[in-house]
Amino acid sequence: MDAMATGEGRREGVRDRSRVCKSKEAEIKRINKELANIRSKFKGDKALDGYSKKKYVCKLLFIFLLGHDIDFGHMEAVNLLSSNKYTEKQIGYLFISVLVNSNSELIRLINNAIKNDLASRNPTFMCLALHCIANVGSREMGEAFAADIPRILVAGMDSVKQSAALCLLRLYKASPDLVPMGEWTARVVHLLNDQHMGVVTAAVSLITCLCKKNPDDFKTCVSLAVSRLSRIVSSASTDLQDYTYYFVPAPWLSVKLLRLLQCYPPPEDAAVKGRLVECLETVLNKAQEPPKSKKVQHSNAKNAILFETISLIIHYDSEPNLLVRACNQLGQFLQHRETNLRYLALESMCTLASSEFSHEAVKTHIDTVINALKTERDVSVRQRAADLLYAMCDRSNAKQIVSEMLRYLETADYAIREEIVLKVAILAEKYAVDYSWYVDTILNLIRIAGDYVSEEVWYRVLQIVTNRDDVQGYAAKTVFEALQAPACHENMVKVGGYILGEFGNLIAGDPRSSPPVQFSLLHSKFHLCSVATRALLLSTYIKFINLFPETKATIQGVLRAGSQLRNADVELQQRAVEYLTLSSVASTDVLATVLEEMPPFPERESSILAKLKRKKGPGAGSALDDSRRDPSSHDINGGVEPTPSTVSTPSPSADLLGLRAAPPPAAPPAPSGAGNLLVDVFSDSPAAQPGLGPSPEEAFLSELEPPAPESPMALLADPAPAADAGPEDIGPPIPEADELLNKFVCRNNGVLFENQLLQIGVKSEFRQNLGRMYLFYGNKTSVQFQNFSPTVLAVQTKRVASQVDGGAQVQQVLNIECLRDFLTPPLLSVRFRYGGTPQSLTLKLPVTINKFFQPTEMAAQDFFQRWKQLSLPQQEAQKIFKANHPMDAEVTKAKLLGFGSALLDNVDPNPENFVGAGIIQTKALQVGCLLRLEPNAQAQMYRLTLRTSKEPVSRHLCELLAQQF
């Protein structure tokens, strides 16, 4: 028998190679000799029997695995597939799986052999064929066998079912469109009841993947998954001997079932929900039991189930007892000797901190987390500890947490310093009890880690100081003292230059900070600074001439110096010349007018938190948001609607209803669930999530209550007792209602309406055919609103507080479901009494059909194929119109993404055009949509073409989108 034909032979070959081949050249020579021998055998006149073919094909496979190219033997491997011997067929399939390219000319022959094996009664041959399909995974194989595999999956033997499920999963991941379940859905779901645990494990993996795209089709799996999980959790280690891993029954299946349940909201059926809660409690109880084995495999399996259980509890966020127990369990891991467990505990507690039920329980571990921040050896664990401190921060512990983070910042790893700086800046601004503490904190931040303080941070402190009269004097005094340090960071010089230039007169009465002293202090830093800082200081000097005439001669001497007037930098030279001329020729009145104090900055969204979210990535939304558990929080600088340039699905500003009067009265505690939008709405990323759990889309869907099925409306919200106002009491929308609605077509957050009395803000999120909308009503006056009654026409809504104090806000939450396509948005009516006078207004709720647009990626070939299928005249809507805004490609791209479609690259032959695709998700049906936008920059015109499977939708989407350009 040839030494390389069997496992023993291959091992002997390896030993021979290492013993004889002393160099790479010797090995290549030996391999080439062997290849020549095999090639002569295949081309010889004598026909080879099955065993010989297997032997030589196996040699080729082994040589390939050694790193050498193989360019023959493929046909012989295909011939092995027709053998009736398992070993020969196995080697043939193995060779094909490893060496045959999906574009090979032999694919048709291979497919025929696979088809024969799938049709056979031999389960071993069927499994080999299924494994080959999964390993190759090409589209051609998917097209050939995708329709047959579901039949095998539900009707084969146990071992075949398991292979079929995994094979189908592989094909679905490679080409989802090739695996239409249809009639097989119910039978696949019922595999969760199969007696064979291997089949159940494979079926759970398949269903978890399928249900993410079609959750409604597989929602019956919830009760079966709970039933199966209950049986596993309640079983003893001896009950499932074949699937017990170190005294833990079926740990992999348990984890998969828990992940499957996270794809759905809590079960509606009380019995199923009760059984699931019992399972979760059992897992938490078992975590408290002493281990049955000291081996690490036992603790790993046990902890894997525990952490997945905690993830499900966090996902549901509806069981206070379980959330608190989960928090306590994680608290025990914070001091565990295993680093990975400490890391996972900190990471999970970050999410728990955003829940109103468990936030207080998380706060009890603050000392342990602070200790971890100081003493952990692993930088990733320290980073998670900083994240948790940030997440658990509220008004009660803000000073302690900010102080500890500042202390840690002095020795923090360079990789995370910038992130720590951003977090400290955000917390100091958000939870500042007085502005002097905020100013001290930011100046300390610049002193400790000036290199990591971005422009966004020191810009923000300047905005706040400028807008708040009560802190300007303190800020000037503090920054003057900070500048006296021998080593002063350049960012401190920038802040000092601006504040002293604006408010230095407030401390000029003290001889220790007289105008000449202030100027000398700033000018001593001048030559050490960059060009940008020098330019700022020159502007400060000219401000000093206006504020302190006694410094005029000294400052003019500085401006007249040759180093300024003949400076190599054009910006500095121009400023010096202009400022010198201005101070020489302008009268005192003109100078005072030109150099008057800067007006208050427009209240806009804070860029600090947006920067942090960009740094943390799309998944940071839930970790950064605490809106559900800190309703009293207010950004100390308020906010308004962002500028029109932030069109990339822009968010509303910080403290959406932050009042522009300074400082606003304290608002009473909002109802449960109302929250400050500081964290959420600063984000300029569409990924920002409103604190809905660890997995944004799944957690979002899990928390929505199902609307009342009997409602006749296409859009429903919160099936709760309706407010008193009826349709007959609601007047027509205000004249600008359409214009206000149009602003929200490509965005979900912002200020919907504002006048001198009332501000109405909107924050919304949509997934598939479901949506959640927060309406914030802010009283801008100092007088209480009486009989306050907001009502959404023909949609049942929950009541809000009937009285809104001056300077306060109330929140209304709508859970929305799109039952079918619609053209007209619901009406929002707001009524109240102000000073005894009734007030009312009616608006259009910013819910348009494109809010339920799910982006869809597709290749160019698929796009044009689908485009041709939607070629009926009634399926297309086209509009040619003149541009109403500057034609900027990036802005256009951002608007199309905000509209909801996926932008497809390299599809349109003209790279200037935009092509998109998506699906309108409704409960009744799905409407596919393709769009093409053709800009003509020379003519300042657009041509917009939409094709959908439903005529009214095409026209309506075309009208909505055209108005955005």
Of the candidates 513, 497, 432, the one whose C-alpha atom is nearest the C-alpha of residue 470 is 432
SS3 844: strand
Of the candidates 931, 930, 928, the one whose C-alpha atom is nearest the C-alpha of residue 942 is 931
Cβ atoms < 10 Å from Cβ of 62: 17
Q: Is 435 annotated as a binding residue?
A: no
CA 383 – CA 620 distance, rounded (Å): 14
Q: Is 59 annotated as a binding residue?
A: yes
Give the single-character DSSP code of 606.
-
Of the candidates 242, 387, 378, 254, the one whose C-alpha atom is nearest the C-alpha of residue 308 is 254
Residue with tokens 């001329």: 581
Structure tokens belonging to residue 112:
């025929």
The residues near 917 (Cβ < 8 Å, ≥ 6 apart) are 855, 856, 857, 858, 863, 866, 901, 902, 904, 928, 929, 930, 931
Q: Is 58 annotated as a binding residue?
A: yes
CA 740 – CA 564 distance, rounded (Å): 51
Q: How many CA atoms lie within 13 A of 897 on its CB side?
A: 17
Burial of 111 (0-12, 13-18, 19+ CB in 10 A): middle
Q: Is 746 annotated as a binding residue?
A: no
Structure tokens belonging to residue 763:
């924050």
Cβ atoms < 10 Å from Cβ of 729: 13
* DSSP count for the chain of H helices, then E strands: 41, 16
What 3 state SS string does 639-668 have?
CCCCCCCCCCCCCCCCCCCCCCCCCCCCCC
CA 881 – CA 796 distance, rounded (Å): 39
Q: Is 55 annotated as a binding residue?
A: yes
Cβ atoms < 10 Å from Cβ of 484: 12
CA 939 – CA 60 distance, rounded (Å): 65
Cβ atoms < 10 Å from Cβ of 592: 13
Residue with tokens 């799986």: 97
Would you say how long the chain is, in residues? 965
Helix spans in 120-196 (H): 123-136, 139-145, 149-155, 158-174, 185-189
Do residues 83 and 48 make contact, with C-beta atoms less than 8 angstroms apart? no
| Annotated binding residues | 41, 51, 55-59
